Structures are given as C-alpha cells and as structure tokens.
Structure 1
C-alpha cells in the first residue's frame, strides 16, 4: 500500500508533467514544423512520467499529449492536419453521409490519441524488462546485445540527419564520409554505454532504451496508422503516387523518428538519473 507521502509525490509529479506537456504544446518547444508534419519533443515528458509514475499515469499523460495534438491540428491546421483532428478531417476530406463522417472522426481520433497513450505504457514495461534481464547472471550478454541495438539506432540517426543535410547542400561532405562518421559515433556510444552499464549504473541502459522505445512507439504507430487510414489523401498532400507512400513514410521514420529517439534517449537518461535518486524509476510496479 502506498504511503501518503508517496501518493502526494506522484500527484505532484503527474501535475508537473501535465503542465510541461501543455506548455510545450503551446510553444515552439513541443512541435517542430517539417513541411507536412510536425516532429515532436512532447513524447519525452510522457516517457519520463511513465517510468516514475507507472503505466496508468503514463498512459494518462500520453492521452494529454494526444489531446494537445488534436487541439493544435484543429486550431492551426497543417496540410496533413486531417490525420490528427476530426474537425480538420471533416472540413478537408470528402465524405458522404453520417457513416463516412463518423469513420473520419474515428480514424483521426485514433491517430491523435492511441499511439500517444501507448508512449506512456510501452517504455515502462521495456524499462522493467531490461532491469530484470540485466539483474540475471547473463547480464553481460543481454546488456551488450541491447547496447549494440541502441548504438546502431544512434549511428543510423546520425547518418540520416547528415545525409539529409548533404542532400540539401548544407553539409559539404560526401555520403561516404557521413557513413564513416555515423559508424564512429555508433562505436563511441557503444563504448560509453558499455562503460556506464558495466562499471557504474546498470540503469543507464534501461533509461536509454526506454527513451528510444517511447519515441519509436509514437513514430511507428502514428505513421503506420496514417498509411493504413489515410494513404491516398496523405499521398496527395505530399504530391506523390500512393504506391510510393510506403517509401516516403520509411524515410520519415528513419529521419524524424530516429532523431526523436536519439534526443529522447539522451534527455530521458539525464533526467531519469536525477529523479531516480529521489524516487526510483519503476518503483510503482504492482501499485499503479
């Protein structure tokens, strides 16, 4: 049973994360416009909230994130706002009768809310699972495998970002150099995490992986749902053939998604190790 102090702490932390999410949503800090879709940093407080408050409160915070997306897309619509706002969908997309209108409402509400709720659920169980895995006698094997995956994602994110800058003429280096740079950074990240994981704090790997998982949960589910529900209108916004949309979405995931995941991993780790000293992450298992 939770103590009064513990309940008060969780209530205050929940309110704090809610305030942060709302503040980020109404300022440029929360959504970064990228032509037809917004990259986001709003997943970060949701992930951290999940780790320290549990999956129920984490899911609630994810829902708050989803509502801000819903509202923002309704009030200041982008060309793809129909994917996140039933209001925008009903005004921007053709529909005939109440049945089609309700279907549009369902699709847009699902994309705006459900993936964001899961941002507050999935990272918690990933965090708990990794903590349990690295507590076994096979810590070195499990830890190194997970670390290798994390380092690959970071390296790939560096390459995706650098290659995009090269394509846009902002970086005067070759693609081969970008690949070498990405490999070097991936190796550096692997060595750094391995040192922290093996020598200092075993929770390092859990925090980093939870940050990546939360960000990718958002990107994969949102972009996957857009492809499933709004393939043709989204392709029209991008001015491409619907048959080419899968490749474009893959590009968005490999660039936006991986960059968001890397940023999320860094911030979740830095904030997580501080908060963990006050109230251990994952400590609400079985009570939330």
Structure 2
C-alpha cells in the first residue's frame, strides 16, 4: 500500500472520529438554540475532509455523517422533525449524496476562480444564491405565520434583502481578510452547506410520512426551516471551516495532494 493511501485512510479515520463525536455528543454537532430549532455544525468537519480527500473518502465521510445523524435521532430526538431522521432515507441517503456533491462544488468553484475574472463570478454566484434563499425563505416564514397583507410582505422582503446584503458583505470581508486567492474555499463552504440543506429537506419531504402526518402540508414548514437555518449554518461553515482548511493545507502531505488535485 502506498504511503499516500495510508495517509488518506489515516486522515479519513480522524475525520470519522470527529464527525461521530460531534454527532453523538449532545449540543455539540447539532446545536439546539430554541425548542424544535437546531443548527447543524457536523457538516463543517465533513466538508473539510471532503475538500481535502479523494471523492471516495468524501462519500465515506458523508455516510458516517448520516449514520451519526441516524443514531443521534434515536438518542436525543424529541420533535417531529427530529424523529423524521429515524428513516435512513432521510438521515443517511442525503448525507451520502452530500459527500459527493460538496466535492463537486469545491472542484467547480476552484476551476471557476482560475479563469479570467473568475473570482468576480464566484462572488456573484454566491451572492445571488444567498439573496434568493434569504428573501424567498423570509417570505415563506411570513406566509406560514399568517401574513397576507401585501404591504407587510414588502416590508418583510426589504428587511430580508438587507440581511442578505449584510451576509454578502461579511462573506466578501471574510474572503479578503483571509486571502482573496482562497475565495473559492469560503464560497465552497457556503454553497456546500446550502446544498446539504436542500438535500436533507428534500429527503424529509419525500420520505418522512411521520413528519407529514404531524404537520399536514410539510412543504411550507420545510421552507421555513430552510430559511431560518440554512444561511446561519452556511455562515458558520465559512467562518469556522475556511481557516481550518487553509491551516491544514499547509501540511507537507496535503500541499502535495492539493497541488495534484488542482492540476
């Protein structure tokens, strides 16, 4: 077995241990901020590993992430949304797909950033995604809350737009502060997190009969959850994950790997 393969397996094992620890220790990887509202943080070490390792190891990390979520739902699940993760099609399947999708996002944004004016295109892409997600999600939350007045909806849209612009401004500041050449890294954490949110919530809608029986029409509830959690998790991933990834990449073994992957 080659030294690089041994290094990959060892590094994968380290990430597996971190993912399982964060998944199974209460209030560590799934942080409950309000009753029924949890912020996922386990996706951060998962994405760091995905960005560093080969796709097959990223898939493994995604599966482990899903298994940790499945076990945690039995250990700590209390709400209807938590109990939906008893189904492996909700807890494991989307996380396994996420392991592949996040790697694709990282590779795609890295290549995009290297073309002429590529960094501007990356910023534009992430900004559009963030603004659409924030505005659409805020409007859906207002609708779920019974708001029907058009004037109120306009106010909600304007407030959501301000928050979205603040998110974009902080995202650009974070990128410039670290290194604008690494813009694709923080961007990948943001887009990857939103991809994870979409995959998981889609699985909840498609495969969770318990959730639908509890809430009736599941789609509005899901959209509200996506709006309230998605961008918070994306921002946390960019703030926490970017410096860790950049620091890890300074290791001699990882410098060789990343150069080889980007070639």
Query: What TM-score results when the alignment is normalised by the length of structure 1?
Result: 0.71
Partner of residue 31, structure 1: 30
- Post-superposition shift, 1:276? 1.9
Deviations 1:221-267 (A, max 9, x none): 22111112225x31443xx4x23x32221110011122111111222
Q: Is the 8 A contact 1:133 1:139 kept in 2?
A: yes
Aligned mate of 2:181, from 202, 208, 222: 202
Aligned residues: 242
CA contact (8 A) 1:209 1:265 kept: yes
* Residues 1:267 and 2:240 aligned together: yes
Q: Secondary structure at the match of 1:32?
A: strand
**C-alpha distance in 2, partners of 1:177/1:143?**
24
Gaps (5+ residues) in structure 2? Answer: 146-154
Shift of 1:113: 0.7
Q: CA deviation at 1:130?
A: 1.4
Contact preservation (8 Å) 1:63, 1:114:
yes
Q: Secondary structure at the match of 2:195?
A: helix
Secondary structure of residue in 2 paired with 1:259: helix
Query: Does 2:190 match 1:189?
Result: no
Match runs of 1:1-288 below 5 Å: 4=3, 6-27=4-25, 28-33=27-32, 34-36=34-36, 38-80=38-80, 81-85=82-86, 108-149=87-128, 152=131, 156=134, 179=160, 182=163, 185-186=166-167, 188-189=169-170, 191-192=172-173, 195=176, 200-203=179-182, 205-230=183-208, 233-237=210-214, 240=215, 242-243=216-217, 245-278=218-251, 279-280=254-255, 282-283=258-259, 285=261
Gaps of 5+ in 1: 86-107, 168-173
CA displacement, residues 14-33 of structure 1 (integer Å, 9 cap, x when unaligned): 12111111111222211123
CA RMSD of aligned residues (A): 3.3
Cα distance in 2 between the residues matched to 1:57 and 1:73: 24
Structure 2 residue matching 1:202: 3-state secondary structure: helix
User: Between Structure 1 and Structure 2, whose CA radius of gyration is higher?
Assistant: 1
> Is the contact made by 1:126 and 1:209 (CA closer than 8 Å) also made in structure 2?
no
Counterpart-to-counterpart distance in 2, 1:71 and 1:140: 40
Given the two structures, how large is their TM-score scaled by the length of structure 2?
0.76
Q: Distance in 1 between matches of 2:172 and 2:42?
A: 29
Question: Retained in 1: the 8 A contact 2:122–2:187?
Answer: no
SS in 2 for 1:277: coil
